[in-house]
């Protein structure tokens, strides 16, 4: 019985999706989401009860303005999370899931050992998107930035599956995502650096596809 295929138009090309591959990724993504809710959510809750919260930022960073429209760029991690099913095969998806799971495990350990928070003014903002982010994500799991780490791991994988134009799109998207975590006041510079290092470490240590 032949595999069921779907033709999906993307920014740079038409991608043929194997339905069984999509189901495989859905299963992996469900397990990753469960891990995220338990670990990330649990660490956030535990840190909210603690008094030994650290500040990992320079004073000048607290003067960076909040740019409310960047909340939509911040939220673009959602379609990014869905994109691997359109470009990667099952072995690549499994490797991606292992790297993301490892990143969450390591980050959670750091959150619990060295809990931190942001130094921005947390006054109520008129932007519903900003307030939604603040409601969902308490300001404790800051170093390293999992938002940056998980996005970077996915981008590294997607970069092996697209052409030059696709890689340019990924680089611009990643730069915008990094800017968004700072301009929405969710993270500081050190958090971003930590997230990038975490992503690179998981990419290098855990079996990975060919480089770009």
Q: Can you give the pLDDT of all 212 residues of the chain as single tens digits?
A: 344 444 444 544 445 567 888 889 999 999 999 999 999 989 988 988 888 888 999 999 999 999 989 999 999 999 999 999 989 989 999 999 999 999 999 999 999 999 988 888 776 565 777 777 777 777 789 999 999 999 999 999 999 999 999 999 999 999 999 999 999 999 999 999 999 999 999 999 997 655 55
Q: SS3 of 141, please?
A: coil
pTM: 0.85
> CB of 194 within 8 A of CB of 103?
no
Token pair 């495990």 is found at: 105
Closest CA to 156 of 80, 69, 101: 80
Residue 94 has what pLDDT?
94
φ, ψ dihedrals at 117, nearest 5°:
-150, 170
For residue 144, cis peptide bond before it (omega within 30 degrees of 0): yes
Handedness of CA 196, 198, 202, 205 (dihedral sign): positive
Q: SS3 of 130, please?
A: helix
Residue 16 has what pLDDT?
56
């Amino acid at each position: 019985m032949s595999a069921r295929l779907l033709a999906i138009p993307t920014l740079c090309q038409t991608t043929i999706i194997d339905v069984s591959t999509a189901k495989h990724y859905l299963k992996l993504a469900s397990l990753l989401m469960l891990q995220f809710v338990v670990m990330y959510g649990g660490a956030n809750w535990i840190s909210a009860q603690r008094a030994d919260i650290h500040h990992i930022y320079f004073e000048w960073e607290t003067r960076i303005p909040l740019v409310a429209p960047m909340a939509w760029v911040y939220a673009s991690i959602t379609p990014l999370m869905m994109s691997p099913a359109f470009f990667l095969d099952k072995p690549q998806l499994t490797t991606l899931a292992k790297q993301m799971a490892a990143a969450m495990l390591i980050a959670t350990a750091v959150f619990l050992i060295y809990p931190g928070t942001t130094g921005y003014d947390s006054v109520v903002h008129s932007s519903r998107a900003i307030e939604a982010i603040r409601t969902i994500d308490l300001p404790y799991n800051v170093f390293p930035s999992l938002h940056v780490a998980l996005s970077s791991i996915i981008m590294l994988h997607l970069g092996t599956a697209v052409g030059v134009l696709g890689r340019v799109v990924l680089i611009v998207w990643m730069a915008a995502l990094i800017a968004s975590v700072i301009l929405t006041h969710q993270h500081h510079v050190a958090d971003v650096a930590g997230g990038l290092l975490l992503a690179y470490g998981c990419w290098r240590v855990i079996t990975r596809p060919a480089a770009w």
